Amino acid sequence: MTVVPTQRDVASLSQDGYGSRSKSGNLVLAPIEALYLVEKERLEVTDERTREVVSFETLFTLYSSSDELLWNRYLIYKDLRGRGFVIKYVDGAEIGFQVYERGSYTKSAPTYYLHAVYEGMEETVGHLGEIIRSLPHGVALKLAVVDRRGEIVYYGLRDLDFGRLGPEEGD
């Protein structure tokens, strides 16, 4: 967990769609948010014990020890942020990312949800149908497929009719 303690930085980063506020008013960043901000030189992370600045590589090593898919998630996050979207990673959720159009983050619901699949990971059509059916009405699901080279292809799944597939038919 990375905490942004200074109020000036909290206000600026929060307004840009980063992190979530703690009860004490600090901004708590998800690992991919902290990595992105460090890489973009918008944030400097300091080790509380040594008071030394932590590099991107060291931070990545620390975070990835508890998340083997961190690099793939980070690639998706970085790609979409670079395209101007605000993207929130929902840790432990079936649908890993909420994506907001530029300027809509605090004003409306996510533009779409994003489910990630990584090369070598098994995913069934039936499971994707379950995810789509669990979404609020009218919200699209996109699928991000990350290959072993880190290249990402996005697919829209809103127009597919998964309602006809039962679990046994789509698995």
Please, are residues 134 and 156 in contact by the beta-carbon 8 Å criterion? no
171 confidence band (pLDDT: 50, 70, 90): very low
Question: Across residues 106-133, what is the average pLDDT?
Answer: 84
The C-alpha atoms of residue 2 and residue 64 are separated, in whole angstroms, by: 14
Map out the domains of the chain as residue ranges. Answer: 1-67, 85-171
Per-residue pLDDT reduced to its tens digit, 16-38: 888 888 888 788 889 999 999 99
Residue 154 bridge partners (DSSP): 144
The C-alpha atoms of residue 28 and residue 79 are separated, in whole angstroms, by: 22
Q: Is the pLDDT of residue 160 over 70?
A: no
Q: What is the DSSP string of 76-139?
A: HHHHHHHTT-EEEE-TT-SS-EEEE-TT-TTTSS-SEEEEEEETT----HHHHHHHHHHSPTT-
Q: What mean pLDDT is reported for the chain?
A: 82
Please, are residues 118 and 105 in contact by the beta-carbon 8 Å criterion? no
Q: What is the pTM of this model?
A: 0.82
Please, are residues 80 and 48 in contact by the beta-carbon 8 Å criterion? no
Q: What is the DSSP string of 128-144?
A: HHHHHHHSPTT-EEEEE
**What DSSP designation does 52 have?**
P
Level-2 CATH architecture, domain 85-171 = 3-Layer(aba) Sandwich (3.40)
The C-alpha atoms of residue 112 and residue 87 are separated, in whole angstroms, by: 10
Question: Across residues 40-44, what is the average pLDDT?
Answer: 90
Which of 1-10, 18-27, 151-160 bottoms out in mean pLDDT, i.e. has the lowest?
Answer: 1-10
Please, are residues 38 and 44 in contact by the beta-carbon 8 Å criterion? yes
Please, are residues 89 and 96 in contact by the beta-carbon 8 Å criterion? yes
Phi, psi of 14 (to 5 degrees): -60, -40
Map residue 109 onto helix, strand or coil: coil
Residues ≥6 apart with Cβ < 8 Å to 3:
22, 26, 27, 28, 29
Taking the domain 1-67, which CATH number applies? 3.40.1170.20
